[in-house]
Amino acid sequence: MLALIRTIDLALDIYTWIIIASAIFSWLFAFNVINSSNRFVASVGDFLYRVTEPALRPIRRFLPDLGGIDISPIVLLLIIFFIRQLLWTTIAPMLV
């Protein structure tokens, strides 16, 4: 059972890095630092959008409009941090 918790924790860790990469990519795209007409850049951006948007969209519905600032990735990272802490401090000790 501990292997399952470690696997879930690893998946959440990987998803955390994908969220961070998506946020950085969106900043680079917004400030025209990267060439959006490049096929590789477009495919990376599409991948990051498709992977993160299903988790970020429900959070955006509940957050107030802050103009051009999107704090939904920060909220999602906090939720992931909470889930990981819950796994290791509450659920894992019960299984050992």
Q: What is the pLDDT of residues 1-58, one digit of tens each?
A: 889 999 999 999 999 999 999 999 999 998 989 988 899 999 999 999 999 999 999 9
Rounded Cα gap, residues 95 and 18, in angstroms: 29
Q: How many CB atoms lie within 10 A of CB 22?
A: 20
Range of the domain at 11: 2-95
The total number of structural domains in the chain stands at 1
pTM for this entry: 0.91
Q: What is the pLDDT of residues 73-87, one digit of tens each?
A: 999 999 999 999 999
| Cβ atoms 69, 35 nearer than 8 A | no
